[in-house]
Amino acid sequence: MTISIITATHNSARTIRDTLESVRNQSYPKVEHIIVDGRSSDNTLDIVRQYPHVAKCISEPDKGIFDAMNKGIAMARGDIVGILNSDDLYQDSTVLARVMETVINGQCDAVYGDIVYVDQHQTGKVLRYWKSGYYNKGSFRWGWMPPHPSLFVRRSLYERFGGFRTDLGTAADYELMLRFIHCYGAQLGYVPEVLVRMRDGGASNQTFASRIRANLEDRRAWEVNGIKPYWCTLYLKPLRKIGQYFLRD
Distance, CA of 184 to CA of 174 (rounded, Å): 14
240 has a pLDDT exceeding 90: no
- pLDDT beyond 50 at 137: yes
Look at residue 204 and tell me whether its pLDDT is greater than 70: no
Residue-level pLDDT at 243: 82
Domains of the chain, CATH where assigned: 3-246 (3.90.550.10)
pLDDT (average), residues 72-76:
98
Residues near 113 by beta carbon (within 8 Å), at least 6 away in sequence: 99, 132, 150, 190, 191, 192, 193, 194, 195, 196
Q: Which residues pair with 7 in a beta bridge?
A: 35
Whether the pLDDT of residue 206 is over 60: the answer is no
Q: What is the predicted pLDDT for the residue at 236?
A: 92
| 222 Cβ contact list (under 8 Å, min separation 6) | 178, 228, 229, 233
Q: Please state the three-class secondary structure of 48-111 as a single string.
A: HCCCCCEEEEEECCCCCHHHHHHHHHHHCCCCEEEECCCCEEECCCCHHHHHHHHHHHHCCCEE
CA 116 to chain centre: 13
* Residue 249 pLDDT: 58
CA–CA separation, 198 and 94 (whole Å): 17
- 220: buried, middle or exposed (CB in 10 Å: 19+, 13-18, 0-12)? middle
pLDDT band for position 202 (cuts 50, 70, 90): low
Q: What is the pLDDT of residues 79-126, one digit of tens each?
A: 999 999 999 999 999 999 999 999 999 999 999 999 999 999 999 999
C-alpha to C-alpha distance for 9 and 47, rounded to whole angstroms: 12
What is the C-alpha to C-alpha distance for residues 139 and 227, in angstroms, rounded to an integer? 14
Average predicted confidence (pLDDT) for the chain: 94
Q: Higher confidence at residue 238 or residue 159?
A: 159
